[in-house]
């Protein structure tokens, strides 16, 4: 049985590779995990519907696999309390907040840390 490589960066190439794999099967065989992983990676950038349709995969299985992505390394940044203190010369610091829905808020902040935290919590709790 030939070893197959599956592209996680090019949808057209993955379609060709998956079609070649399907032609090589003599009986109904589950799609290999590396192919599912490549499809899930592409679904995160191209959309589940498009990838499932292009590759002739089950939409719901692909959706479930594409949602199991590791969190983005830039998804959360912890700021130490000392960094929230205003500059000693009274200059404001710039703070940018964003949420998963694309909402953004930019602040010029000179006040205390508890006030900043309350404002950030209000931003993230607001109605969508």
| Domain assignments of the chain as residue spans, ordered by start | 11-66, 81-125
Residue 8 has what DSSP assignment?
S
Confidence of residue 16 (pLDDT cuts 50, 70, 90): very high
The per-residue pLDDT for 55 is: 96
Is the entire prediction scored with pTM above 0.85? no
Among the listed residues 89, 45, 36, the one whose alpha carbon sits nearest the alpha carbon of residue 64: 36
Report pLDDT digits (tens) over 36-51: 999 999 998 888 999 9
Report pLDDT digits (tens) over 50-90: 999 999 999 999 998 888 655 444 455 555 555 555 555 66
The per-residue pLDDT for 1 is: 46
Are 93 and 86 contacting, i.e. CB atoms less than 8 angstroms apart? yes
């Amino acid at each position: 049985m030939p070893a197959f490589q599956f592209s996680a960066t090019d949808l057209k190439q993955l379609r060709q590779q998956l079609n070649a794999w399907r032609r090589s099967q003599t009986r109904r065989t589950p799609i290999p995990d590396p192919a599912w992983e490549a499809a899930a990676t592409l679904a995160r950038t191209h959309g589940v519907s498009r990838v499932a349709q292009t590759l002739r995969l089950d939409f719901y299985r692909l959706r479930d696999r594409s949602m199991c992505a590791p969190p983005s390394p830039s998804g959360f940044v912890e700021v130490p309390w000392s960094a929230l203190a205003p500059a000693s010369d009274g200059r404001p610091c710039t703070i940018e907040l964003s949420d998963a829905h694309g909402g953004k808020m930019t602040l010029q902040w000179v006040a205390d840390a508890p006030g900043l935290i309350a404002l950030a919590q209000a931003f993230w709790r607001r109605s969508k």
